[in-house]
Structures are given as C-alpha cells and as structure tokens.
Structure 1
Amino acid sequence: MNGARWLAQALVAEGVDTLFGYPGGAIMPFYDALYDVPELQHVLVRHEQGAAFAANGYARASGRVGVCVATSGPGATNLFTGIADALVDSVPMVAITGQVPTGLMGTDAFQELDVFGMSFPMVKHSFLARSVDELPNIVGEAFRLARSGRPGPVLIDLPKDVQNADASHLPPHVPQPIDDVEAPKDASLHEALALISLAQRPVIYGGGGIALGDAVQDFRTFVDATQIPTVLTLKGLGALSSKHPLNLGMLGMHGSRAANLAVQEADLLIVVGARFDDRATGKLAEFAPHARVVHMDVDACEIGKLRVADAGVRGDICTTLAKLTLACAAHLHGRNGPARKAWRSQCQQRALQFAPRYDAPGATVYAPALLKRLSETAADAFVVCDVGQHQMWVAQHWQMQHPRKHLTSGALGAMGFGLPAAIGAQLQDRTAQVICVSGDGSIQMNIQELATLRRYNLPVKIVLLDNQALGMVRQWQELFFEQRYSEIDLSDNPDFIALATAFGIEALHVDRAGDVDTAIAALLAAKGPALLHVAIDTTANVWPLVPPNRNNAQMIDDASSPKETPHALPA
C-alpha cells in the first residue's frame, strides 16, 4: 500500500466512480494504482484540457464532484482553462496533478512547474502534499471544500515520491461532512418581505445559484405563489420552464426584449442566486434605475458587490425561498394587488408581442428555428454548448426544462468546452440523451475528443453550425468596427463530414430548411455518436443585442443595425 494506492481507494470512498485524465511521468504511480481499482472508471481523453472540461461537464450535469488527473508541467497547465471555468461558474471539481519528487522541487527538473503557486487565482484551495502522512487530511479537505458553500475546484499537487511512499500505516479514508449552509436571518427576511409587499412593479431575477443550491422546485413554488414576472440569466435558464407564463426569458446582452424592458422599468428586483454579471446588466450605472433590490445568495461576497442591496439575504436559497413563499402568501393581496396585476399583464403582453419568429424567408437553414425544433423533438435532453453565436441562439430558442440540463461556459466563455463537457455529461448517465451544439470555430479547439467519443461509444449527438467564420467576432466587427473583418475567415474549414467519418463517427449534412426535420430525425435515431453538419449563412447575426456601454433598454436588431441580414427577423 503506497500513497498512490491509498489515494485511489480514497477516491472510491468519496463516491468517485469516473475520472478523466492523461498519464505521464510524474503521475505514473497513480496510474499504476488504478490498474487494480476496478471501481474507478478512468476515461482517457486526448488532451488534458479535454479532461478538465469533461470533469466539469460531469459535475454540472450530476451535481457531484468531477475529478480530472494530469502529469506535471504541461499536463497540469493544460488543465488550467477547465479549472478556471469551474471556479467562475461555481462547479465542484478536484484536479490531481503529478509533481516531480520533493527532492527535485526547485531545481528546474524535467516537467517541473510551480503548479501549486500558479493555481492560486483559479481554485478555492490548492494543496501540495509533501509527505504521505498528509494525504488523509488533504483528500478529505479537498472534497469538502469542493462541495461546501459556493462549490468550486480544488487542486492536489502530488509529488512522485509521495505517491511511492509507504502508506500501509494510514487508516482507510473517511469522507468529511460538508459545511452546513447557514440559514437566513429573520431580520433579513423581514426586510425582504417589506420590500416585496410595497412593490408595484416587481421582477424576479434568477441565476445559477438556484441549481447550485438544489432550489429549483422551491424557486418555481415561489414564482407560482407570488405571480411575479421572472427573468433568468444564462446559467439560470431552466429554473423556470421556458413555457411558463411568467417566464419573460433571458435578460442581458442577448436577452429578450420583454425581459430587458421589464427589468429596466421594475421598482423592485428580487435577485435569487445571481451576481449582476456585466453580460446581464449592460451599463451597470443605468441598470434597473428605478428598482430597489432584494438579493439572496449563499455567498456573502456577492451581496452588494456590484449593486447595493436594500435587503441582503445571505444563506441557504431553499430555506430563504420557502420562508418567503409562506410569508408572501399573506401579504401580496393588499392595496398594491391591482397595480401588480396590471404590471404582470403588461409584461406578459410584451412577451407575446416580442416573441421570436421562426418563419425566416429563403430556402437555407435558419439556426434558431432548427434549435427550437430540435429542443422540442428531444425535450428531455441535456444540451451542451460551446461559445459563440450558437451558444446565444441556444439560450434564446432552446425550450429549457431544468438548469442542470443546460451546460454552458458562462463567465469564462471558453471555446472548446462543448465536446468534452458533453462527454462528461454522458458518462454521468449513459442512458441520458446528450446533444452538443457547437460552431465551426469552437469545435476545432478540442476536436480530438471525437476519438474519446468513439472509444467509449458514447451516444452524444453533435450539431455543428458551420458559418465558415468566427461568427460572434464577425458580428461585432460588422456592427462596431466599421466592417473591418480581421482574422475571422474560416472558409478553409476541413470537410467535417469526412473528418467525423475518419474518427468513426456517423455524419450527416443539411443545408436546406425543408430537410431539417428529416435530418433531426436521422441524427436522433443514430445508435452511437453522430454529427449533424449544418451549413448556415455567414452573415446571420444574433438578435436582439445590447451594444457596449448601453443600458438594456437600448437594444438593436436587424432593422436598426448597419446591415440587414437575410435570415434574422425582428424580435
């Protein structure tokens, strides 16, 4: 029993069943230990960044801790993008990296880097094991910290001699309990209730903390009980069904007109697990200028960080929502009832007035219509996005049912996230339907993971929207840089059908609107992994759009932009 074997058994004790990684010299003792631990399924990716994103996707979809492994030096640094993504989107992960033996640390040994120090800005905590006796405390603390409070990534840097050291004297690992989440204080709840009772034009503003706090049902109950119009952030999508009559859609840069106008006119924002991200608020100084703020969050650092909270409610989101739901039932039918009813009616009317249209002219494929149709056909699927125009089209047009079924790189906006994250989502539940929506730019950042998809025969379905450009950058250059198109041309893309086929992935192609239903049916009917290559117009843009340094009421669309696109229709 050496340190590496003890660690492998400790992972089993922590409930880990799947880990993603790539072997190398400094982590080789751990890989040798895995040989004798059948309870751990190791998934061999083709690049360490794929390992981190796959663990990230596994954790987002399941709510459990994702685990990734790499060797020292470049192996560890290749994990960092996926680790950073987990930090800013609050994803529970443990990353294990090999390190040169302790006696060689500081000597510029082969593949030696100060991974412990480099990781500080992108983790909740880092550990460097200097002796095998430290392992029980390190492993227990790593998983406790990853799960506790606001979740996030933790790194364990493991020198090779510690992995090889005798561990026969160490006790079997016992997981540490996670910290109890503090209940909200009664005084803060009373302050929140007073503001809610006085409001005539309230709006609920829900974010990613709803899913992180396992508060989806409590949130839905609160919305139904209060009958308050609701907007959601990118990470909050699905907390309320897309078809719910009070759901006005996503707010922010590419949010719906109904959502953005409601927020700008509201006299109260009830903020649930959101952090006033710049993509949601637009010009912060002009965001919701008439609104007082009730801000609920588990993380005290977020309350009042960007917008002063008139009532800050720190604590468990489930408990907060449950108590406010009971209290609001007795207070929301007073003198402000008629005003709130008129406000609700106005918001719902706008949602109908500004609802997206899908009757785009022309014979070519209109991406929003395809995505809406796909989401209706595969209603219970996990949808995993890369970053770019396709990501925003999914946010706008996919019929979301639950926030854990929408996996997207939110705060970091990391291209290359989609395919490996979809692999992680599929491996946390092999019976689930997982659809990866990617772009021709994003997919090439980790396209080598098609080999991983094929090796494990994972039935992930990939929808590749190909506009032969870096679409979001091209859109901004068109609108805000005088159409000076700099380094966005991808017209020399590879033949994606041939490429997928070379990896052993079934591949289909569609380029005409009339063939979309047939293509979707064929994609979903494929037994194993499959790719649908969708050719779309290079000039298609995402609408509406809040320009930089503007408030959310100052949206533009294809009619008011410098150049009208053939397939985007008025929102």
Structure 2
Amino acid sequence: MGSHASLNVSKTVVKSLEVANIDHVFLVPGKLIYPLLEAIDESPTIRAIVGAHETGSAFMADGYARASRKFGVCVGISGPGTMNFVPGMAAAQADRIPVLYIAGGVSSGAEGKGAFQDGTQGGIFESAVVRGLMEDVVDLKNKGNIQAEMRRATDGLNWMRRARSFVSIPVDVQQQDVPSSQEAARTPYSQSEFNAREVPANRAALDALCDQYLLGSKRVAFLIGSRGNDARTAQALLEVAEKFHVPVATTLSGKGAFPEKHPLALGVYGFASHSRAVRAINTDELDALIVFGSDLNQRDSMNWSRKLLAGKEVIVFDDSFDPPATGHIAQGTIFSGIGASFRLLAEKKVETGAGFRQVLQKRKAWVADLNTTALYDYQFEQAGGQVSDSDQRLYPGDVVKRLCRLLPKDSNVVVDSGAHRIFMAHYWLSSGMGNYFSSSSLAPMGWAIAAGIGVKLAAPERPCVVVTGDGCMMMHGIEIQTAARYRVKVIYVVLNNAAHGAIHIDAVDKGSISEQFTRLPNHDWTAFAASLGVAARHVQCLDDLDGALSEAMQHAGPFLIEVKTGVFPAPNRYYAQATTHGEAVELEFDVRRLTGDRADVGDDESCEIIV
C-alpha cells in the first residue's frame, strides 16, 4: 500500500492494526468479510490464522493478548460468527483482557428486510447482545467516520485500560474508498511507548507503605492477583520482596508472578491453595496483608473466608478502571499502577542502618518459621484413594510434578478448566516469569486448547505447553487442527480421566448427582490427534513421560501427549472447608500438624521447595 494510494474502509482498518504492531489476526472466513480478508491478505506484516470455530478464534486472540501484552484481534461474519464470539468475549471480559472483535455485516441496503444473517437491529441486533461485554460497540455505517470510530474502538485496547471493543461493518461499507483525510494515521509516539502505557504509581501511598509497614517491624505479606502477573512486573516484585524480605502468596489468577521454589514463596492462596499460604494469611501471625491487583473474589478469598480479614490490617492496591466486586471488603482500594508500584519500591533508597537490619532479622526469623510449614499438607496427598474404579491410572499430581521437572523453566504454561486445573495450580511450581496462563474468572472448558496457539504465536521463542483434559478436548479439541495447519509448536498434554473430573468426585463421594452425568467415553485422543495431522503419543506410566516430552520438544509442529489419569480428590481441603451452604465459616488450621520433620510429601521433585 503506497502512501498516496487510495484506501478503502477494510484496508484502513487493517492499516490501523499495523500501526498498533499487531502481527496476527484470528478469524473464520465468510462472504460478509471478503473485503476485510483481501485487506488482511495484502498486509505485509499481519498473518491471518484461520480457526476451526469462532469461539476458538476468540480464545486464540485472548491468549495472544496475554502473552504479547498487546491486544488480540479476531474477525468473523455478523450473526452466527458474532454469536460464536460471545463465549470468548465473556472470558476476556471476566479476566479483563484487551481484545478487538470485528464483524462483517449484511449490506446496508439489506438491513431490516429479513436478509440472511442480518445482525443489525432489524435482525438479531447483535450489538445489543454483546454490549454488556464491551467497553465500546461501534456500528460503522459511514466511511467518513472511519478514523474517529477506529480511534474510539482501539484507544482502550491496552494493558492500562484493559478494554474490549466490537466493530461491525456492513460488507458494502468495507469496500468504499476513504478520503485521504480519513486514512489511518500513525501515532505521534513510538509503538513501544504505546504498549508501555500504564497507570502511574501512587507515590504518596507507597511512601506511607514503606514508612509504616515495610521499614517497620510488622509481619507483612504480599498477595498478588492477576494484574500483577506479567513478566516485567514479576521481576520488579521479586526485587521488592528480597529487598524488604516480605513473603509472597499469589491467587490462582496471579500464579506465575512469583517463583514458588523461592524462600519467600508462600504459594497459592484461595482455590487450590498451599498450606503455607493458608497458615500465613488465615492465622493470627500476620500483622498486615498487602494485596496487589486482585479483586479478592470467591476463588481468591478462600470462599470469602472471614479469616482473610480477621486480626490483621488489609491494604489493597489496584489499578483497575472497573470497580471490583469487593463488597465483602470494608477497606477501600488505593489506586496505583501495580507494575509501576513495584518498580518504584525496587528503586526506593533505603537507609541500611542498625534499625533496618534489626527489622530484617526479625522478619527473616518469622519467614524461617513459616517455612517449617510445607507447601503441601501430607494428610491431603492422595487422600481417600482413587475415586475411579481403575487401578491402572496415574495420580495427576505425580504427572504434574514430572512435567514441572522436565519442561524448561521459561516455558509458557497454558492451563484449562477442570480437575487438572486444581492439580496444576497445586503441584506446578511456577518459575515466577509471568508465564502461567489460565482463564481464571470465567473458566470456560477448552479455552486453553485455542488460547495456547495465540500464546505461542505471540512468544515464539519460548516453549509452550497446554495442559487440558478429555472434557475440554470434547468441547474445543478440534482447534489442535489449527495448530497443525500452521505448524504452531504447542505441546498438548491431555490428562484423560474419562470423566468430568471435578463433578465426578461429587457424584461418587457425595452423591450430589447421578454418576451417569459425569462419566465420559474413554476416547483415544492420540488417534484423534493423528487424524488431524498432529503427532501424538500415549503415556501409560510416569517414566514414559520423559521420552514423550523429549520427542515433543524436538518435533517441528504441535504434539499431543495423552496421559491416562484417575479421578482423585483435590489435593487440599482448605477451599472446600471455607464454605458451608454458601456461607463463610471459620477455617480449621492446625499449625502443629504441619510443622516438624514431615515438611513435605511426595517424590524428591516436591521436596525441592523446602527451604
């Protein structure tokens, strides 16, 4: 596209994506987006990835945004295409991931006449359907508004605002030429500056945090949520934690923000929590809990446990532009950029006199005592035996620990929704590089299968492994064909327990529902993968996993490893015990039982975490 060549609406839209440094767009083709497809095809910098389903494309765009720290883009037709985007829109909205959704609509002259796949107000009125999931909804009817409307749609698509936008363009408008005055213009700042935009730190609040807590003798711990979980922020967090010797816990959505083998690691608090985090936060040892970038929602607050707030000060720093649902928290939130806050604290000059050295000595002694509590509570390890009727299936925790030992520490790990999510959150020891991805708030099954493709395309230099289950494969497993088509090197590990695992436990152990609703056919996912052009290997014993992973790492394209696992109880009970009939209760926690010489349970891989 020459600088003086006339651009139509479609090419102008694509040009705006080029200016934003977007290099991958995820789509499903259709007649209503032919002009957009032509413009994408002609782009010198944007690669189109055709998904098997619009929901998969939306998940891919979500994963791409998380790993690139840019925004994701997916394109489809109005009507069924937009409706299929909705699950992906909801997942991105729940986790506040910036994504742009572009739909091609019926011709302007056909609107409101019963046209095939009419998504306008005269048809299914899709803009009204998606409005609750979007910050901006644009129905572009006038080519003269292209510059203003694209600016409106894209201004919030960054990791400061974390917005989502939906743009619908009639197919005839897509083809209309745009006056030169309306063509996409380059921004007055560099792309690196655009991507680096963030909420600034609240210097006054952070100075007070240092003076009253970090530099004092109080026992202080950090709890990190999703908005502190990126590589740059994780590095600054590590520097701050070591500087002030503050122990760090993460929520499930914050997992990945701190290295879990570090002496200051408390592990995960809330869903799939670790014993050390529960002890530190839910007992009376803590003077102040400093929360960064978490909504303290149900999963992050241990089912709204009163122990989270009892007997301590709770101070919440956040940079969300949307008010979080924290009605159960009496304290207000201090608005401060999470990444900027940690970088400011890391750079802060501290007097290293006798007073501060004494503070550090006291804090180190307290942390050493905390570390006598294992991450894992031995009473819950493989507790109760197998729920399934097979004795030949592997314990998921053993599989996860072996994966953690074998995979490179810089691997991007993408985790799906199901029983395997519990075992991954509990047994996978994060390297603290902001490289653990999961749709934590909405948790649609099958999300990771497609999102992993976006993650890998955004960070091709890093290994990428997706951990999913057979139930998830039944929902969106077809997207492994997209990985094969474009030779996207993703390693898929399918933990096949022939059940909807988390629900199956309830059905068998508690009799909540009939078992017939939770069992799944024992499909051969290795054969399924091979039929779609994906190399695959079946693993029946733990030692076979070593060779399978070695083969997968050397393979040029996607690779699927199917592991037969049993259905086991969750490896802890804290989260389940924290609620009874939907009401928060006092959580039982016996510190004495978790201390002493039985610091950990399991093979030598799990023992590496003991300090």
Matching residue of 1:109: 115
Q: Is the 8 A contact 1:62 1:404 kept in 2?
A: no
2:188 aligned with 1:189? no
Determine if contact 2:275/2:376 at 8 Å carries over to the other structure: no
Match of 1:290 in 2: 311
- Per mean C-alpha deviation after superposition, the further-off stretch among 481-490 and 427-436 is 481-490
* Match in the other structure for 2:468: 438
Moved more, 51-60 or 393-402: 393-402
1:422-571 pair list within 5 angstroms: 422-482=452-512, 484-490=514-520, 492-539=521-568, 541-547=570-576, 548-549=579-580, 550=584, 553-554=587-588
The equivalent of 1:350 in structure 2 is 373
Aligned residue number for residue 65 of structure 1: 71
Aligned partner of 1:564 in structure 2 is none
User: Which stretch has the larger CA shift, 109-118 or 332-341?
Assistant: 332-341
Give SS of 2:374's match.
Answer: helix
Cα offset, 1:469, TM superposition: 0.2
Which residue, out of 83, 87, 93, partners 2:89?
83
- Residue 27 of structure 2 is matched in structure 1 by 21
Structure 1 residues 505 and 304, CA gap change in structure 2 (3 angstroms): closer
- Cα deviation for residue 351 of structure 1 reads 2.8
Query: What SS is found at the alignment partner of 1:209?
Result: helix
CA distance in 1, matches of 2:206, 2:331: 12
Q: Aligned residue for 1:129?
A: 140
Post-superposition CA distance 1:151-195 (Å, at most 9, x none): 132111112222122214333432476596453444433443324
**Amino acid in structure 1 at the alignment position of 2:372:** Q
Q: Bigger shift: 179-188 or 2-11?
A: 179-188
Conserved? CA contact 1:303–1:312, under 8 Å: no
Note if contact 2:395-2:568 (Cα within 8 Å) is conserved in structure 1. Answer: no
Contact 1:253 1:552 in 2 (8 A): no
- CA separation of 1:127/1:330 partners in 2, compared to 1, >3 Å: closer, same or farther? farther
Distance 1:435 1:213, change over 3 A: closer
Matched, 1:314 2:331: no
Is the 1:189–1:313 Cα contact (8 Å) retained in structure 2?
no
Contact 1:363 1:514 in 2 (8 A): no
Deviations 1:288-331 (A, max 9, x none): 21121221111265479345465743122233224445377669
Residue 437 of structure 1 aligns to which amino acid in structure 2?
V
Structure 2: segments with no counterpart, 5+ residues = 1-6, 120-124, 594-600
> Which residue identity does 1:33 align to in structure 2?
A
Q: Deviations over 1:384-440 (max 9, x none)?
A: 111011122122222322454212111011111111111111222334311111100
- Computed over aligned residues only, the root mean square deviation of the Cα atoms, in angstroms, reads 3.2
| 1:385–1:436 CA contact under 8 A, matched in 2 | yes
1:5 aligns to what SS in structure 2?
helix
Shift of 1:115: 2.2
Superposition deviation, residue 352 in structure 1: 6.0
SS in 2 for 1:147: coil
* CA distance in 2 between partners of 1:343 and 1:304 (Å): 33
Rounded Cα–Cα distance in structure 2 between residues aligned with 1:385 and 1:413 = 10
User: What TM-score, normalized by structure 2, do the two folds share?
Assistant: 0.84
- Corresponding position: 1:279 with 2:299: yes
How many residues are aligned here?
561
Contact preservation (8 Å) 2:225, 2:294? yes
Query: Structure 1: which 5+ runs fail to align?
Result: 560-566
SS at match of 1:216: helix
Q: Which letter maps to 2:152?
A: E
1:260 aligns with 2:266: no
Q: 2:351 and 2:330 mapped to 1: Cα distance? A: 23
Given the superposition, is the C-alpha separation of residues 16 and 277 from structure 1 closer, same or farther in structure 2, using an over 3 Å criterion?
same
Q: 1:385 to 1:94 in 2, by over 3 A?
A: same
CA distance in 1, matches of 2:232, 2:586: 29
Displacement of 1:454: 1.4
C-alpha contact (below 8 Å) 2:445/2:472 kept by paired residues:
yes
Q: Residue 563 of structure 1 aligns with which residue?
A: none
Q: 1:120 & 1:474 partners in 2: Cα distance?
A: 36
Cα deviation digits, residues 198-253 of structure 1 (max 9, x gap): 56332110111113594222211111111112110122122111211111111113
Decide whether the 8 Å contact of 2:215 with 2:244 is kept in 1: no
Contact 2:382/2:571 (8 A) holds in 1:
no
What is the identity, as a one-letter code, of the residue corresponding to 1:509? H
Q: Does the C-alpha gap of structure 1 residues 214 and 515 become closer, same or farther in structure 2, counting only changes over 3 Å?
A: closer
Is the 1:2–1:165 contact (alpha carbons within 8 Å) kept by the matching residues of 2? yes
What is aligned with 2:4?
none
Mapped partners of 1:244, 1:318: distance in 2: 20
2:394 equivalent to 1:374? no
Tell me, yes or no, if the aligned pair for 1:471 and 1:488 is still in contact at 8 Å.
Answer: yes
Is the contact made by 2:537 and 2:562 (CA closer than 8 Å) also made in structure 1? yes
Distance 2:218 2:393 in 1: 46
**AA at the equivalent of 1:52:** A
Amino acid at match of 1:57: G
Equivalent pairs: percent with the same residue?
Answer: 25
Alpha-carbon distance in 1 for matches of 2:228, 2:476: 30
Q: Give the 5 Å matches for 1:414-429.
A: 414-429=444-459
Comparing 247-256 with 189-198, greater Cα deviation is found at: 189-198
Preserved CA contact (<8 Å) 2:136 2:166: yes
Corresponding residue SS for 1:351: coil
CA distance in 1, matches of 2:230, 2:152: 20
TM-score (norm 1): 0.89
- 2:507–2:518 Cα contact (<8 Å) kept: no
One-letter code of the match for 2:255?
A: L
Distance in 2 (CA, whole Å) between partners of 1:392 and 1:488 is 17
Q: Which is worse superposed, 5-14 or 516-525?
A: 516-525
SS at 1:350's partner residue?
A: coil
How many Å separate the matches in 2 of 1:46 and 1:120? 25
Contact 2:466 2:493 in 1 (8 A): yes
For residues 396 and 473 of structure 2, the distance between their equivalents in structure 1, rounded to whole angstroms, comes to 17
Report deviation, 1:257.
1.1
Pair 428,411 (structure 1): closer, same or farther in 2 beyond 3 Å? same
Structure 2 counterpart of 1:562:
none
SS at match of 1:46: coil
Q: What is the aligned partner in structure 2 of residue 388 from structure 1?
A: 418
Q: What is the one-letter code of the residue matched to 1:130? A: K
The aligned amino acid for 1:183 is P
- The amino acid of 2:442's aligned partner reads L
More divergent stretch after superposition (230-239 vs 102-111) = 102-111
Match of 1:349, SS state, is coil
SS of aligned partner of 1:278: coil
Query: Would you say the 8 A contact 1:237–1:403 is kept in 2?
Result: no
Could you say if the C-alpha distance between residues 528 and 202 of structure 1 is closer, same or farther in structure 2, counting changes exceeding 3 Å? Answer: same
Higher mean C-alpha deviation, range 41-50 or range 116-125: 116-125
Aligned partners of 1:534, 1:405: CA distance in 2, in Å? Answer: 23
1:441 CA drift (Å)? 0.2
Query: AA paired with 1:318?
Result: G
Quote how far apart the aligned CAs of 1:85 are. Answer: 1.2
Q: Structure 2 counterpart of 1:221, which letter?
A: E
**Range moving further from structure 2, 81-90 or 277-286:** 277-286
Change beyond 3 A, Cα 1:159–1:471: same
